[in-house]
Structure 1
Amino acid sequence: MDNSRAGFIVSTVYLWIAVVAFGGILAETIIIYPNVFHDVPASLGTSVEFMVAAGPADFFPPLGALTVVAAFTALAVLRPARKWVAAGLVSLLLGEFLFSALFFWPRNDVMFEEGAAVHSAEVLRQTAWEFETGHWVRLAMSLLTAVLAFAAFVRYQEHRRGALR
Structure 2
Amino acid sequence: MRHNGNSLAVSGAYVWIAMVAFGGIAVETIVIYPNVFHDAPASLAKSMEFFVITGPADFFPPMGAVTVVAAAVTLLLLRRARQARWWIAGSLATLLVGEFLFSVLFFWPRNDIMFEEGLAVHSVEFLRQTAVEFETGHWFRLTFSAVTATAAFIGFLRYHRARTLSGGLA
TM-score higher than 0.5: yes
**1:144 counterpart (129, 144, 147):** 147
Between stretches 92-101 and 6-15, larger displacement belongs to: 6-15
Partner residue in 1 for 2:110: 107
Which structure shows the bigger proportion of residues in helix conformation? 1
**1:131 counterpart (129, 134, 139):** 134
TM-score by length of 2: 0.94
Partner residue in 2 for 1:71: 71
Moved over 6 A (4+): none
1:21–1:63 Cα contact (<8 Å) kept: yes
The Cα of 1:40 is off from its aligned counterpart by: 0.7
**2:165 counterpart (151, 158, 162):** 162
Q: Residues of 1 paired with 2:4 and 2:155: CA distance?
A: 14
Counterpart residue identity of residue 127, structure 1? T
Residue by residue over 1:128-159, the C-alpha shift from the partner in whole angstroms, topping out at 9 and shown as x without a partner, is 01101111110000000000000111011011
SS of corresponding position for 1:164: coil
Over the residues paired in the alignment, what is the CA RMSD in angstroms? 1.1
Q: How many residues align?
A: 164
Structure 1 alignment gaps of length 5 or more: none
The Cα of 1:75 is off from its aligned counterpart by: 0.5
Counterpart residue identity of residue 46, structure 2? T
> Following superposition of structure 1 onto structure 2, how do residues 75-94 of structure 1 map, counting pairs within 5 Å?
75-78=75-78, 79-80=80-81, 81-94=84-97
Q: Residues of 2 paired with 1:135 and 1:105: CA distance?
A: 12
Counterpart residue identity of residue 28, structure 1? E
Counterpart residue identity of residue 11, structure 1? S
SS of corresponding position for 1:25: helix
Partner residue in 1 for 2:26: 26
The Cα of 1:7 is off from its aligned counterpart by: 1.2
The Cα of 1:51 is off from its aligned counterpart by: 0.3
**Does residue 13 of structure 1 match 2:16?**
no
1:4–1:160 Cα contact (<8 Å) kept: no
Counterpart residue identity of residue 128, structure 2? R
The Cα of 1:163 is off from its aligned counterpart by: 2.0
Residue by residue over 1:75-94, the C-alpha shift from the partner in whole angstroms, topping out at 9 and shown as x without a partner, is 01113111111000110000
1:13–1:70 Cα contact (<8 Å) kept: yes
The Cα of 1:3 is off from its aligned counterpart by: 2.5
SS of corresponding position for 1:3: coil
